[in-house]
Amino acid sequence: MESLLTIALALLLAPLFPGIILKVKAAFAGKKGPPLFIKYYTLSKLLRKGSVYSTSTTFVFKLGPIVSCAGAMMILLFFPLGGMSPILCFHGDVIVLFYILGLGRFFTIAAALDTASPFQGMGAAREAFFGTLAEASIFAILILFYRMTGALSFAEYFTGATPISLAGPAGALLLLVIVSLFMVLLIENSRVPVDDPATHLELTMIHEVMILDHSGPDLALIELGSFYKLLFYSAFIFLIVCPLKATWGLANVPLFFGGICLVYVAIGLVESGMARLKMNLVPKFVLTSLILVFFAAILTMEFVK
């Protein structure tokens, strides 16, 4: 019951948290900023509109938003939100779920290519390249976690017999993993300094340029999927920093969502203090996250036999 309540709250509150990032960035700029519920207004506005399709597109263009949003929702069902047992889990689910996210990326790229627009093709190529590099960091983290816990499941990572925690023997070295995972969060969710979701210059965009032709409910699905994906990565980081026990029951809920808010505040602080990197520096940024995990794996060899 607690798991169902937490997943329902997560699905409902996911559009709220990006408003925290906007508020932090506005505060740094000395502005009031948009209301916290701005993303709900945006979704409501898009859902009231109709989708417009070019005569040159095919069914692939319509599948992109559906598959990407469904994949992001599915990964939340397998994640122990609030430290509680997930609704679904099996051994090896982490591999399947990251590839489900990859499937969403594939259909988003395919939908962009389906428009035959050179700008969207450019964004699709960048998304595929940086996503492939980020995938190496993610699977390096999963290999490290497998060595530490002997498990390949989100449930085992955070609610198993030997949960991953900063309080463990190799806890201090997990700081490298947390930094790496935070960098992956910025990459996978098209945030500054890798990408800028607020930009309108096609030549410098990555993710946003791929979805320029989507409108109405299709664009709402893409937005909703991005909110769920960002929530997943934020929850992943928070549970490593502050693991929660299932025995605490509903007391976990405010702790979990409060911690999630802090991760979003951290994203806002990074975006307020950094500019977007030049495009030729983005691969170096992505590979830095892999190097951090690599060093963490080497350093934890002494602790994990």
Tokens at residue 301, please? 């060899």
How many CA atoms lie less than 13 Å away from 111 in the CB half-sphere?
28
Which ranges of the chain does DSSP label H, i.e. alpha helix? 2-13, 18-28, 38-48, 59-77, 93-114, 118-149, 154-159, 174-188, 207-210, 216-241, 252-273, 282-299
**Amino acid at site 190:** S
Tokens 């290519």, located at residue = 113
Nearest to 243 by CA among 142, 304, 162: 162
pLDDT tens digit string along 246-285? 777 788 899 999 999 999 999 999 999 998 898 889 999 9
- Predicted TM-score of the model (pTM): 0.95
**Structural Rg of the chain based on CA atoms:** 19
Residues 6+ apart with CB under 8 A from 205: 123, 195, 196, 199
pLDDT interval class at 202 (50, 70, 90): low
pLDDT tens digit string along 2-34? 788 899 999 999 999 999 999 999 999 999 989
Tokens at residue 286, please? 């992505």
